[in-house]
Chains A and B, each alone.
Chain A
Amino acid sequence: MIASSKVTDQAQERWDLIVERFRTACILHKKSESRDSRRIIKDELPVLIKAWIQILPASLRNDAKADLRDMFEREQALVDQSCKMQQVFKETLVKKIIPELEAKIAAKYRALYVNQYERKREAIDSEAAARSWINPSFSGDSGRKRIEIGNIAGMIDALQDGEAEELANTLVDLDDIVGTMNEQGMGPLLSDS
C-alpha cells in the first residue's frame, strides 16, 4: 500500500479491511461459493474502496488505483498458490497419510478400547454405569463417482477414497493455508504449469 507514513491510521484500517474482504472473496470463489464471492466483490468492496479513497489526500489517489491493482493480483496469486498447496497436501493425505493412520493409529486406538472393554466386562458383575462419547455431526457423501453396478471393487475404491478425502478436507483447510502463507509472507511456491 501507499507508504503508511503518508496515510492516517483510519486509512490504513480501511485498506486492511479491503484486503481482508477481497481475500475472502477469492477463497470463496475457489471453494465454489460463487454467490457469496460475487456479493463481496459487487456489493461490499466498491463501498469500502470508495470510503478508503475519500480519506486519502488528493495527491495519492492515482497511486491508490495502482495499489489496488497490485493488491488484487497479489491476493489472487496467494489464494491460487494456497489452493494448489491444499491439493498437494490433500493428495498426500488421501493416498499416503490417512491409510497409514488408519492402519496404525486407529487400529491401536481400537485395540486399546477393546482391552478396556474386556477388562471392564470381567471385573464388574452387574450395575449399569453410564459414560459417553460425544458424537459430533459431520456431513458426508462418498458416492461421487459414477461406478457401474457390477464393478464392486471400483465402488469400494471410490467409497474409501471419498472417506479419506472427507477426512482430508477437515484436516487441510484452505482458509488456514492462505492465512499461514500470508502471515509468513510467503510468495508463490509452485509453478503455474
Chain B
Amino acid sequence: MTIKTRTTPVKAKKSTPASKGIVHVGLDLGTNITCIQAAPEGSKKISATEVTPSVVGYTTEGILPGIIPGEAKVLFGKMAQKYKLHLNLIQPLKEGVIDDMDATRDFLKHIKETAKIDENSEVRAVIGMPANADQQSRENTRLAVTGIFDKVILIPEPFLAALGSREESNLLKDDYIDPVCNSIFVDIGAGSTDVCLIQGYYPSAEDQVSFSFAGDAVNQQIQDGIIAKYPDCQISIAKCREIKEKHSFVKSAQATIEYPVMVGGKVRKLEVADAVGTACDALLERIFEGVKALIVKADPDSIPDLLQNIIITGGGSMISGLDAALATMLTEEGFEGCAVRSIGQSYQTHVASGAIKAASQAQDRQWQNLLG
C-alpha cells in the first residue's frame, strides 16, 4: 500500500506561546466519517463534538473567482461535497487507515479548528485505530497528527466502542443492561466489519472476527448489480453509496426502489431494489457467519444472556431491518431468545466518546510525545 502526499497551500503555522492547559481529545478518524470530541483535562463535560465527512477538496486550477466561498483553496467535509464539481476530492483514509498523508494532515487541522480547541493548549488525543491496523499504519497515524496534537495514545476501535457505549452512571441500576458485560458487537465500517465478543474484558484477537466486506464492498456490489441490469447507465460509486444510504435494506424488505440517475444528460429512473437487496444480504450473510463463530467460542453458561445483547454499530447499522434479520437468522439456526439491536445514528460518536473516557483515565507516563 502506498501513501500519497501532495502539495497545496495552507497558512503558515503560528508560533505557539506557553501552554495554557491540557485538553483531551477523542478522535475517531474514519474512512467516511470523522468524529472529534474535546474536553478540558479533569472535566467530565465534553466541550465539543464535531462529526464531519472525511473528505478534503482542493480547488482545481483555473477556477473562476466567486465560485468557491471565500476563494478558499481547500474545503472540507460537507462543503467539499457541496462544491465537488470544482474540486479535486480526496478521501484521506482508505479501509480505515491513512492513504493520503497531506490530505489527512489538512483534514486534521480543520477538525481541530472546528472543535475550537485553544491553540495554546497542550492537546492530548486518544485516537481509534482499526483492530487489524499494523505497525506502519499506527506510525503513519502518529506522523499525521504530529504538530497538530502534542501527545497521543492509539487504541483499537473495538475497545473504544465498548467504552463509549457504556453508561457508567447507569451501572448500578437494576434494569440497565451493561453492553460490555456480555455482548457481541458488530461494527460495520467502510473497509472492514469487526465482530467482537465482549465479556467484561477488553477483546483479545481470539474474541474478534474481522472481514473486509463492509460499506465499500456493498457500494461496489450495488454498482455491479445496477450496471449488469442497465449496462449503459454509467452509475458512479458515489451515487451507489447515496442509494445505499437512503434505501438500504435486507431480506427483500422492499420490493421496488426507483432511483433517478442521470444517463446521457437525461434523468432516468432505475429500478435498483434487487441490486441493493442482494448487496446488503451478502453483508448480512457474512455477519451471521461471524456472529455464529463467536457464539460458539463463548462459555456455554454465558450464551443465553449473550444472545440477548447483540449490538450492531458503525455505518452499516443504518441498513434497514439488519438487526431483525440477523435475529431471525440466528433463531432459525437454533440460537433461541436472540435480541439484536442497531445503535443507529449515534454510532458516529461512540468511538470518540470511548476515546475521551480513555484519555481522562490515562496515566501521564502512557502518553506518547509526538515531538522530542
Q: Which residues of A contact B (CB under 8 A)?
A: 102-104, 106-108, 110-111, 113-114, 117-118, 120-149, 152-153, 155-160, 163, 166-167, 170
Contacts and interface: CB of A to CB of B under 8 A. Distances in A.
Nearest to B145: A110
A156 B3 CA distance: 28
B88 A140 contact: no
Contacts of B203: 143
A185 B316 CA distance: 59
A170 to B, nearest CB: 8
A61 B203 CA distance: 57
A124 B7 CA distance: 7
A156 B202 contact: no
B42 interface: no
Nearest to B204: A143
B contact patch SS: mixed
A149 B171 CA distance: 13
Which of A129, A144, A148, A149 has the most B CB atoms < 10 Å from its CB?
A149
B85 interface: no
B201 A146 contact: yes
A159 B153 CA distance: 10
A155 B205 contact: no
A132 B5 contact: yes
B4 interface: yes
A129 B131 CA distance: 32
Q: Which 5 A-B pairs have the closest CB atoms?
A: A107-B372, A138-B134, A132-B2, A110-B146, A135-B1
B156 A143 contact: yes
A103 B369 CA distance: 7
A156 B163 CA distance: 13
Nearest to B10: A121
Given A118-B13, A140-B133, A149-B181, 12 more contacts: A103-B369, A120-B7, A121-B8, A121-B9, A139-B134, A140-B134, A143-B159, A143-B205, A147-B202, A149-B200, A153-B361, A166-B135
Which of A144, A156, A170 has the most B CB atoms < 10 Å from its CB?
A156
A182 B297 CA distance: 43
Contacts of A146: 201-202, 204
A130 B362 contact: no
A153 B200 contact: no
A140 B361 CA distance: 25
A156 B362 contact: yes
B4 A110 contact: no
Nearest to A139: B134
Interface stretch (B136-144, B185-193, B254-262, B275-283): B136-144
A106 B141 CA distance: 13
B211 to A, nearest CB: 15
A145 B12 CA distance: 44
Interface in B317-350: none
Contacts of B5: 130-133
12 contacts: A103-B369, A106-B139, A108-B372, A111-B371, A117-B102, A122-B9, A141-B204, A143-B156, A143-B203, A143-B207, A152-B358, A160-B153
A142 B181 CA distance: 21
B223 interface: no
A128 B100 CA distance: 12
B16 interface: no
B172 to A, nearest CB: 13
Contacts of B372: 103-104, 107-108, 111
Nearest to B90: A128
Nearest to A134: B2
B198 A135 contact: no
A159 B6 contact: no
Contacts of B202: 143, 146-149, 155, 158
B73 interface: yes
Contact of B6 (A104, A107, A130): A130
Contacts of B362: 152-153, 156
A147 B58 contact: no
A113 B1 CA distance: 20
B204 A163 contact: no
Nearest to B1: A135
B201 to A, nearest CB: 5
Contacts of B361: 152-153
B306 interface: no
Contact of B371 (A110, A130, A136): A110
Given A118-B12, A122-B9, A163 B138 contact: yes
B241 interface: no
B196 to A, nearest CB: 10
B12 A126 contact: no
A144 B6 contact: no
B371 to A, nearest CB: 5
B59 A128 contact: no
B4 A131 contact: yes
Which of B2, B4, B372 has the most A CB atoms < 10 Å from its CB?
B372
B370 interface: yes
Contact of B142 (A110, A138, A155, A167): A110
